[in-house]
Amino acid sequence: GHNYGILHSSFWQPSENSTDPLDPSGNEYADEEEYGDPFDVMGKGPAPEGVFHSQAKQLLHWLTEGEWVDTTAAGNGVYRLNRIDHPDTTGVRGLRVTKGADDYLWLSYRRLFENKALKAGANIVWERAGLDRSWLIDTTVGSLPGELDRTDGSLAIGRTLTVGNSHITPIARGGSGAGEWLDVRVNAGSFTGNTAPVVTLNGPSSIAARQTAIFTATATDPNGDELAYSWDFGQGFTFDNNPTATFSWAVGGTFTVKVTVSDMKGNTAQATKTVTVPDTITTWNTRANTSTGTFHAMAASPTKVIAAGDDSVNFRGPVATSTDGTAWTATQLPLNRHAYAATWDGSQFLLAGMDYNGSSPVGAVYRSPTANTGTWTAHVLTGSILRGIAYGNGVHVAVGDNGTIRRSIDGGVIWSPVASGTTNRLSSVSYGGGRFIAVGYVYVDPSGPYSGSPCVLTSPDGLAWTNATAGAGMESWQDIRAISWAHDRFLASGFYSKLRYSLNSGVSFGSTRIPNESTPAIAYGNGVWFAGGTQYDEFGGTIGDVDLVSADGIYWTNLATPSLDDRNAAVFFNNTFITAGKNHSIRQSGMFSQGTGGFHAWRENNLPNHGPQSTPAGDEDGDGVTNLIE
In order of their start, the domains of the chain are 2-188 (no CATH), 198-278 (2.60.40.10), 287-589 (2.120.10.80)
Of 271, 190, 165, 257, the C-alpha closest to 227 is 271
- Give 3-state DSSP helix, strand, coil % of the chain, rounded to 5: 10, 40, 50
Distance of alpha carbon 313 from alpha carbon 83, whole angstroms: 60
Beta-strand relationship, 338-344 and 349-356: antiparallel
The pLDDT-based confidence of 573 (bands split at 50, 70, 90) is: very high
For 113-158, give the secondary structure using H, E and C: CCCHHHHCEEEEEEECCCCCCCEECCCCCCCCCHHHHHHHCCEECC
Decide which of 35 and 450 is more confident: 35
Q: For the residues of 228-266, what is the DSSP string, one character each? A: EEEEE-SS-EE---SSEEEE--SS-EEEEEEEEEE-SSS
Strands laid side by side in the 585-589 sheet: 284-286, 585-589, 576-581, 567-573
**Of 46-50, 194-198, 308-312, which gets the smallest average pLDDT?**
46-50
Residues 69-98: what's their mean pLDDT? 96
The pLDDT-based confidence of 31 (bands split at 50, 70, 90) is: low
With H, G, I as helix, E, B as strand and everything else as coil, classify residue 385: coil
Q: What is the pLDDT of residue 579?
A: 98
Q: Classify burial at 257, counting beta carbons within 10 Å of its beta carbon; exposed 0-12, middle 13-18, buried 19 or more.
A: buried
Count the alpha carbons within 13 Å of 20 in the hemisphere toward its beta carbon.
11
Count the alpha carbons within 13 Å of 365 in the hemisphere toward its beta carbon.
28
Query: Taking a C-beta distance cutoff of 8 angstroms, is the pair 238, 247 a contact?
Result: yes
Mean pLDDT estimate for the chain: 91
- Alpha carbon 90 to chain centroid, angstroms: 31
| Residue 384 amino acid letter | S
Q: For the residues of 436-464, what is the DSSP string, one character each? A: EEEEEE---SS-TT-----EEEEESSSSS
Distance of alpha carbon 89 from alpha carbon 548, whole angstroms: 37
The region that residue 412 occupies, defined by phi over 0 for left and psi between -120 and 50 for alpha, beta otherwise, is left
Of 529, 444, 511, 442, the C-alpha closest to 478 is 442
Residues 484-493: what's their mean pLDDT? 96
Distance of alpha carbon 107 from alpha carbon 68, whole angstroms: 10
* 47-70: b (≥16 Cβ within 10 Å) or e: eebbbbbbbbbbbeebbeeebbbe
Query: What's the pLDDT tens digit per position in 140-167?
Result: 998 877 777 888 899 999 999 999 899 9
pLDDT beyond 90 at 275: yes
First to last CA, the chain: 45
Element (H, E) at 559: strand 557-559
Decide which of 587 and 552 is more confident: 587
pLDDT beyond 60 at 540: yes
Highest-pLDDT range among 228-237, 403-412, 542-551: 403-412
Distance of alpha carbon 104 from alpha carbon 111, whole angstroms: 23
Count the alpha carbons within 13 Å of 477 in the hemisphere toward its beta carbon.
1
**Of 324-338, 515-529, 613-627, which gets the smallest average pLDDT?**
613-627
High-pLDDT (> 70) share of the chain, %: 92
With H, G, I as helix, E, B as strand and everything else as coil, classify residue 268: strand
Q: Classify burial at 411, counting beta carbons within 10 Å of its beta carbon; exposed 0-12, middle 13-18, buried 19 or more.
A: middle
Query: Taking a C-beta distance cutoff of 8 angstroms, is the pair 14, 23 a contact?
Result: yes
Element (H, E) at 26: none
Q: What is the pLDDT of residue 608?
A: 56
Beta-strand relationship, 121-127 and 103-108: antiparallel
Query: Taking a C-beta distance cutoff of 8 angstroms, is the pair 430, 485 a contact?
Result: yes
- Alpha carbon 263 to chain centroid, angstroms: 34
pLDDT beyond 80 at 613: no
pLDDT beyond 60 at 448: no
**What's the longest Cα–Cα distance across the chain?**
91
Of 513, 352, 492, 519, the C-alpha closest to 432 is 492
The pLDDT-based confidence of 358 (bands split at 50, 70, 90) is: confident
Phi/psi for 8 (5° steps) reads: -65, 150
Of 213, 222, 274, the C-alpha closest to 244 is 213
Beta-strand relationship, 10-11 and 135-136: parallel
Q: What is the pLDDT of residue 48?
A: 87
pLDDT beyond 70 at 598: no
Beta-strand relationship, 68-70 and 94-100: parallel
Q: What is the pLDDT of residue 9?
A: 94
pLDDT beyond 90 at 252: no
Q: For the residues of 55-124, what is the DSSP string, one character each? A: HHHHHTTSS-TTSEEEHHHH-SEEEEEE-SS-TT--S--EEEEEEETTEEEEEE---SSS-HHHHTEEEE
Phi/psi for 402 (5° steps) reads: 60, 35
Distance of alpha carbon 217 from alpha carbon 509, whole angstroms: 39
Q: Classify burial at 622, counting beta carbons within 10 Å of its beta carbon; exposed 0-12, middle 13-18, buried 19 or more.
A: exposed
Residues 615-623: what's their mean pLDDT? 68
The region that residue 543 occupies, defined by phi over 0 for left and psi between -120 and 50 for alpha, beta otherwise, is alpha
Q: What is the pLDDT of residue 132?
A: 83
pLDDT beyond 90 at 593: no
The pLDDT-based confidence of 277 (bands split at 50, 70, 90) is: very high
pLDDT beyond 90 at 51: yes
Beta bridge partners of 351: 342, 366
pTM: 0.76
High-pLDDT (> 90) share of the chain, %: 71
Q: What is the pLDDT of residue 184?
A: 97
